[in-house]
Structure 1
């Protein structure tokens, strides 16, 4: 399970999806808020990637569910890094 988590944390496609999810949420936060779109996006990416990439080769449902659960954790970690960087950036600009 740790190998899956590390693999997902280093996946450039996942990092890109979370980055652009964050940027889109920042642009639409006046109308949509920030927490709900980010939470739904983290779940969406965590479910989408194991079903559409090489992890789909695993026919075992337990392996897919493990990949999705690790995906939620890794997406939250990646998003936390982006939110932290954004908070530092906004403080430095003030």
Structure 2
């Protein structure tokens, strides 16, 4: 028995205002994931949450300070994907720049 594959095209999404110079494939991918405007694609520092809104940041600072004062080791664990490897490397570099290890 031969299996048939049926392709289903997604309908165009209304209310999407993505940059015109963005390739059509990326426009469709972003739209299918709920991205509706160029502002949602903005990933500069301006779009980041203020540090005061990061849950547990005060406790993390206390723990890092205590580890530094007591000469304790700090273990940085990260994911193996691109953002995980990058954030792990950045964390290690930042800790070294601050005098840890």
With the length of structure 2 as denominator, give the TM-score of the two structures.
Answer: 0.30
Select the structure that is richer in helix.
Answer: 1
Larger radius of gyration: 2
With the length of structure 1 as denominator, give the TM-score of the two structures.
Answer: 0.32
